[in-house]
Amino acid sequence: MPDVFKDYVKNKNSRPGPLKGVRVLEVCTLLFGPAGPSFMAALGAEVIKIELPPMGDVTRSLNPFGWFYKEQGPMFMHINTSKHYMALDLHIDWGQQIFKELAAKSDIIEFNLRPAVTNRWNIGYEDIKKVNPGIIYIEKNGFGQWGTYAEQDRPSNDGAAQALSGYAWMSSFPKRPPMKQSVWICDVFGAMMGEVAVLAALHHKKKTGKGQFIEMSQTENIMRAMGWVWPYQQMTGNGVEPSGNRDQCICPADTFLCKDELFVALAAPAPDEFKGLCKAMGKSELADDPRFKEHTNRLETENALAILKIIADWARTKTAGEIEELGKQSGFAATRLHNSRDMCEDPQRRARGFVKDLDDPLYGKYTDHELPIMMSKTPPKHRWSVRPVGFDNDFIMAKLLGRNQAQIEELYLHGVLGKWKDAQGRRPPSDWDGQSGAILRR
Amino acid sequence: MTENKRPKWAEWADHVRSLDDPAKNFEKPEALDDLVVLDLSSRSMAGCFCSSLLAELGAETIRIEPPGGDLVRTYSPNGVMHRGTGLAYLQEGRNKYHVTLDLDKEEGREILKCLVGAADVLIETYPAGVMDAWGIGYEELAKINPRLIYTSISGYGQFGPESARKQYDYDNVSQARSGIQYGTGEILPEGKTYDEMPYAVPTKAGPWIAWAASGTFGAMGILSAVYYRGVTGEGQAIDIATPEAYERLHDYALHWYSDQGVLNERFGNLDTALWLYGFYPTKDGGVFLGGLRLEMWKAFVDIIGKYDEWGAEQWTTLAPFMKKDWQLKYQAMINPETEKYTSQELTMKSVEYAKTGRLAPITPVIAEIVSPDKAMRDEVWRDRGVFTPVQDPVYGSIVCAQSQWKATETPPRTKWVCRPVGYDNGFVYLKYMGYGPVKLQELSGKGII
């Protein structure tokens, strides 16, 4: 282990996040929108999530098979960490004015609304630019702000992006229906890429003082990750077809069923890796077989299927654990298929602090993921959980805008600021003591 | 397609397009044109993807390969090569200068140290310990350049009990280790075996998404570190493990298991946690249906003409629909209805419903599940600059997915797709070391470049 990561987890709190001093405003719901700002929060930015009172983000209602954690939607909890929670009615003029005051003091604003909605709310890019010319303003949605699909005002979801990009099509077995992913890949990957756009814009702003407007379509973005598919179709004139767990560009690289009915994934394209695998199988001669000797020969579909069949037959005689161990010894990549039990219990994930137990004033102790970027001088930190709708109103209004209590009360009275409805996922957990976690007034 | 009447907000769309149309990308400045990036990726497209993102934003990116070229150049479907390079690398060599350097040789490592002196970012993907053993790990290089942001992307990370494993990082293995593959794929019906249904198994995503995830988190970490360096002058080391990067894209599975002991089992083309949300068959293929708010689900039921029969008027909450038995029950009821239409018919019904339906403007998400072939022919993406071919001086006109976001000031752009092995040795070594043809000939003779 390099010294620089010695006691990394233990010493995490002795360093700030890299984005200390950056402020992000978020008006987002579901996943594509809010996931990005949560990454920024882990990186040390101050993130203010603005919801519409009193119901807020619809994700608060979502749950796997009816399971809520302390009444809260677990996916909402995963995607909205370490933010401040404000509920501001952006449909009304006064709310829009307050938003502009906040925008004037922010570096980044993120939205995931249908095209032109921000414009209708008088908080579009041009409106905000007037109060903050250096603002970095990003709108993320299904189809961007212009073009045929955008102008048809089509709604979108992660699954729509998986469908329209061809991603699902090439993620199934041959001659089987296209397969939807169990994760919201276009949402979260889009959110990640959105922050790359924002951080690059922040760098540009440091150099020039200039802000910018950014728009991202989740379908277009996932296409960027599909790589070789596009030139293949261009050059061969053939459409790409699915190949199950076989990697079409790397051989051998596939998932195999083992003796113990568990699965193992392995890859061994490099000469040393392939030789190591053949030796481990007790078939060293295969490494010199003209069909398999060079990686490019091995990739020819007929040869690929032949070598994969040989490996599959061998894998059926070993346990997944045995093959993983052989991979370690012989230098080819191999792992037993992990599941959510491994996520939770694996000592590696724990030792790296990637999986950790939180200690939250509202939601208590529970297990969640850290940002998977380990930074030696500025460790990202998942610090606190989600909050009820409008939970930090008073704090934000007082700290950023200098409003006193009477002024804040007036805003509540006129419905500009709002608090949670007495409903699942909006109100505090039932065991909340009425004080914990509140910042300004308890 | 129905008559294209432009929306009320067409002026807004035109205005935004006038500011951020990718057709104008090359008139604009580049966000990262003050950064120099060294990409030492070995066997891994994660590192290449990471440096591509920086190179698309204008960073001067120097790709360092061993004298024979990196293995990634052989990654290609069916082994197809285009002018000596695999198709996958024709996407992720973009905008980079390509030099060769044998890091196994002392003299090669000395040259690397010189380049490091001028670099802002270094990316490497060797198993942990390889760079240290060569004497070019973070600690050594930071002595030369304390401002260096040194990024490692690997299968098992730089620390932790598994980090001593000397195995390279491959996408399919990382997908398997992330926990996500376990929960994706067709359900094996009770009483059936994997031998009978070899496709009803945990199924990985087709694209190299684990690599793309760690590469993108890498870029996020690097740009954050650049920001911090701007404040303090300090560089740092960044450590990303590809299975963790991809696992982070999972949502509630970890929490669900730790609190309830529930495993993330496969649920086919439905979604464990969402309704209405899944793939459904049509006359000519299939569509995605989405309606995560009660009204959207009702609107869908209205579209297929079952609003009254199924009693949609009475529904007051989506909650029961998310339960497993209701999901399966309604899936079976929806299937024969969607099969009455083509994918296009259903899609346009949803667009129409937003204008004229009983719950308008609320409408469900309906999207055809297309092949990548059909996606590439879709005029909408072409119009938005995603498939604009790159005119490469060496490789010709190549279609590359690009313009993954649009921006008014510093959009990403692709100038060339790749370079042959060692193509830029002359340019780069002259620029940074003052090495001319005689010296390069000597280094080449010794097998260093």
Q: How far is CA B122 from CA A144, A432, B243, B424, in A?
A: 33, 47, 21, 18
Q: Which residue ranges make up each domain of chain A?
A: 3-224+362-413, 253-342
Amino acid at A116: A
CB contact under 8 A, A207 and B254: no
Instruction: Say if pTM beats, i.e. exceeds, 0.95.
Output: yes
Amino acid at B409: E
* Confidence (pLDDT) at B4: 63
CATH topology of domain A253-342: formyl-coa transferase, domain 3 (3.30.1540)
Please tell me whether residue A265 adopts helix, strand or coil conformation. strand
Q: Is A243 exposed, middle or buried (0-12, 13-18, 19+ CB in 10 A)?
A: buried
A8, A66, A156 ranked by CB distance to B322: nearest = A66
Q: What is the mean pLDDT of chain B?
A: 97
DSSP E strands, B270-364: 277-282, 285-290
Distance CA A408, CA A394 (A): 7
Q: Which residues pair with A265 in a beta bridge?
A: A255, A335
Write out A99-130 in H/E/C secondary structure: HHHHHHCCCEEEECCCCCHHHHCCCCHHHHHH
* Confidence (pLDDT) at A442: 66
CA-based nearest residue in chain A for residue B224: A18
Cβ A370 vs Cβ A42: under 8 Å:
yes
Contacts with A213 from chain B: Cβ below 8 Å:
16, 19-20, 407-409
Neighbours of A341 (CB within 10 A): 18
Instruction: Work out the average pLDDT over B23-32.
Output: 98
Residue B3 pLDDT > 60, yes or no?
Answer: no
DSSP B357: S
Instruction: Work out the average pLDDT over B31-56.
Output: 98
Instruction: Find the radius of gyration of the CA atoms of chain B.
Output: 26
Selected from 3.40.50.10540, 3.40.50.10480, 3.10.450.50, 1.10.10.10, the CATH number assigned to the domain covering A3-224+362-413 reads: 3.40.50.10540
- Residue carrying structure tokens 């339960």: B323
Distance CA A366, CA B260 (A): 11
Q: pLDDT for A339-353, tens place per residue?
A: 999 999 999 999 999
* Confidence (pLDDT) at B1: 45
Q: Which residue ranges make up each domain of chain B?
A: 20-250+383-445, 277-363
Nearest to B388 by CA among B22, B27, B68: B22
Distance CA A253, CA B423 (A): 30
The b-or-e profile of B290-303 (16+ CB within 10 A means b, else e) is bbbebebbbbbbbb
Residue B2 pLDDT > 90, yes or no?
Answer: no
Q: pLDDT for A77-93, tens place per residue?
A: 999 999 999 999 999 99
* Confidence (pLDDT) at B194: 96
Q: Which of residues 309-348 of A touch B (CB under 8 A)?
A: 327-328, 331-344, 347-348
Q: pLDDT for A19-60, tens place per residue?
A: 999 999 999 999 999 999 999 999 999 999 999 999 999 999
pLDDT band at B5 (very low <50, low <70, confident <90, very high): confident
The backbone torsions φ and ψ at residue B123, rounded to the nearest 5 degrees and listed phi first, read: -120, 130
Measured in whole angstroms, the distance separating CA B348 from the mean position of its chain's CA atoms is 30
The b-or-e profile of A303-325 (16+ CB within 10 A means b, else e) is bbebbbebbbebbeebbbebbbe
Structure tokens that stand for B14 in this block: 């035109």
Query: With an 8 Å Cβ cutoff, is A2 touching chain B?
Result: yes
Q: pLDDT for A232-278, tens place per residue?
A: 999 999 999 999 999 999 999 999 999 999 999 999 999 999 999 99
* ipTM exceeding the 0.85 mark: yes
Residue B185 pLDDT > 90, yes or no?
Answer: yes
CB contact under 8 A, B252 and A211: no
CB contact under 8 A, B241 and A153: no
In chain B, the percentage of residues whose pLDDT exceeds 70 is: 99
CB contact under 8 A, A182 and B271: yes
Alpha carbons within 13 angstroms on the beta-carbon side of residue A278 total: 18
**Superfamily in which the B20-250+383-445 domain is placed by CATH:** Crotonobetainyl-coa:carnitine coa-transferase; domain 1 (3.40.50.10540)
Q: pLDDT for B137-179, tens place per residue?
A: 999 999 999 999 999 999 999 999 999 999 999 999 999 999 9
Residue A195 pLDDT > 70, yes or no?
Answer: yes
Q: pLDDT for B289-336, tens place per residue?
A: 999 999 999 999 999 999 999 999 999 999 899 999 999 999 999 999
CB contact under 8 A, B409 and A64: no
Contacts with A265 from chain B: Cβ below 8 Å:
172-173, 175-177, 181, 204
CB contact under 8 A, B206 and A119: no
CB contact under 8 A, B172 and A255: yes
Q: pLDDT for B401-413, tens place per residue?
A: 999 999 999 999 9
Residue B244 pLDDT > 70, yes or no?
Answer: yes
Contacts with A192 from chain B: Cβ below 8 Å:
213, 216-217, 220
Contacts with B408 from chain A: Cβ below 8 Å:
212-214
Distance CA B50, CA B301 (A): 44
CA-based nearest residue in chain B for residue A168: B369
A189, A349, A371 ranked by CB distance to B213: nearest = A189
Instruction: Work out the average pLDDT over B232-244.
Output: 98
Residue A21 Cα, gap to closest chain B Cα (Å): 10
Q: What is the mean pLDDT of chain A?
A: 97
A149, A367, A375 ranked by CB distance to B254: nearest = A367
* Confidence (pLDDT) at A260: 97
Distance CA A281, CA A283 (A): 5
Distance CA A245, CA A243 (A): 6
